[in-house]
Every structure is written in C-alpha cells, then in structure tokens.
Amino acid sequence: MKRPFRYVPVTLATCLLMATALLPPLGAQTTREVEIDIAGPWAYLPDIVGNDRNYIMVVAPSMSHIMSIIPEGDANHYNNSSSKPIQLSDGLYHLDFVSKCGSDRSPGVANLNNLMVGPDPKLYPVKVAGLADLSAKLVTPKEGQGRYALRIPKPCYYESYVESSLKFGPSPDSNTAESTYTTWMVLHYTISADQKATLSGNSDNHHAIHKQLSFKQSRPRSRTSLPGIAIALFMHASSTPSCDLESKAAFGYAADFWGFIPSPSLFPEITSTGEQSRRYNYDQSKCPSTGHTPFVPGRTDCHAPQMDINNTVIPPKL
C-alpha cells in the first residue's frame, strides 16, 4: 500500500541548517599551491605534440644526461635514494594534473607571461623554423638524436631560482661582460587539495610508465615550504674545474639539436663542490671558447643555460 505524501513546512532556519551542512568543514582547504621545479639545460617550447595551448613542453637532447623525476620540490635530490627519484631513459613523457589558476591565467594566451613573482627567468633565446615539423623529431627521433621530451600544464606563474654565468665572445677577457642565465626554473600551480599528478609515457626502448605522484614537501625544507615535484637533468661527465668544459659541451649539443650555431662562450672555473666561481681562465689553449668535446663519465651537474624556443616564455614588461 502506498504511503500518503506528507507535506512538511520548511522554515528559513531549516534552509540555513541544510545549506550549512553542505558547506565544507570550517578551515578545510579545497585548493593548494604546488610547484614544478625544472632544473638542468632544458628548452621551453609550445605543445607541438598535443597541440594544446594549455600545455607547454620541456625538451633536452639526451647526450649523457639522465632525467630524474623527484616527488618533492627539490631538484638537488636527483640521485638521493631516500627521495625515491624516478630515473627515465630518453623518450616522450607526460606529467598531467588539473590546474585551477582562475584569473591568474588566460587559457587563450599562448605564452607564459600571465603573472610572475620573484626574479625574471633569463633564458637563452632560440628561433626554430617549422615547429610543426619538429613534432615528428620529438615523437620518433632519428638515430643519434635522442631527447627527453615532457608535456606539462601551463603554469599559473613562474620564477627563476638558480642562475649561472658565462662570457660570450671568440676571445673573452677580463673586460668582457658576464651574461647570466637561468638553470633552474620554478613553475607554480593551484590544484585541488587532494590531487596527484600522473606521469605517463614511453621511452625510446619501449618501456612504458604510468604512475601517480604526490606533490611532497622537500626533506629537509632547504628551499621552499611548498609541496612540489622536481624534474632534473644530471650528466655523467668528468669535471674540468679550470673552465667547466662539460657545461660548455651541454650548450653546444643543445645548439646542434635545435639547429643553431652557438656563440663562442667561456664558463667560469668551478669549485670542488661543483659550484661556479667568479674566476675565469682566459688561456684559449686550455679553455677554448669555440667547439665542444665529448663527455667523460663522472660529472653530475650542469651550468648550461635553459633556452626559450620561439618566445614561449616571455617575462612580463613591468
């Protein structure tokens, strides 16, 4: 037997009580800011593989580099077992999550120059003709043209974090001005509080990966309190302390990959801990400013500049 419908009067107080019940708990965080740290001699370019203007790509020739994904925002932990880095062979990969930048980002803008705090990125500018044709090179590289290619969401804002110095010129000397370039960029995002990122893709030797990554805070918090994921390139090459020929070689190989003639350059001496000094060795017989030589196993850092392909990254004019 059907139960008769009973009308229950709903008062204003009842409505308010019901509305309050639907609200998240007081103080509950629905979104949070996270970061993606990009460290090493990467180049930034539009998403020429997925053709999605809400994404960008970071690409680097593989050379003797290893790509390391660190599920925390500190690229210094690229080879630290306690941080559980994921080391990848050259290939095409995707790091995907949903960013909620709101008014901080306009999806219709192809560049990254929406909002920025901190130092402006100082990227080496490169013009590449026929970016559409380049997509085939990234998806199916030819022999000897190995590369790391990663698609990531366009950030809400971004900043330069670590920079290196060098001098340009066929015969640089003490009167030659220094140039400074970003070697570690921080990209900022706003995501839902419990969201994870998905790392997927395939290496060129046909090893697939599909893994969820949490945005974690650095241990220890040596740089920031924001949770993040770091993407680092580190190289196996012996150190040349007198003039850092390995970073020069990385710059030269990047020029080969992108098809431009690199400017003659001289990097400063490096310390026993791999840091740049402000001293330069101007002896061209030991530290030539032209050409580049192959890597030798041993080295694990790089001061070669990050690159901006076809004005993908444009600092805002203040």
Per-residue model confidence as pLDDT tens digits over 42-83: 999 999 999 998 999 999 988 767 888 988 777 777 776 666
Model confidence at 159, pLDDT cuts 50, 70, 90, reads confident
Check residue 9 and give its pLDDT.
43
| Selected residue with higher pLDDT from 304 and 22 | 304
CA atoms lying within 13 Å on the CB side of residue 92: 12
Is there a contact between 40 and 76 (Cβ–Cβ < 8 Å)? no
Please state which of the ranges 145-159, 179-193, 224-238 shows the lowest mean pLDDT: 224-238
Residue 127 pLDDT > 60, yes or no? yes
- The SS3 assignment for 83 reads helix
pTM given for the model: 0.81
Residues listed for the chain:
318
Q: What is the Cα–Cα distance from 249 to 127, expressed in whole angstroms?
A: 20
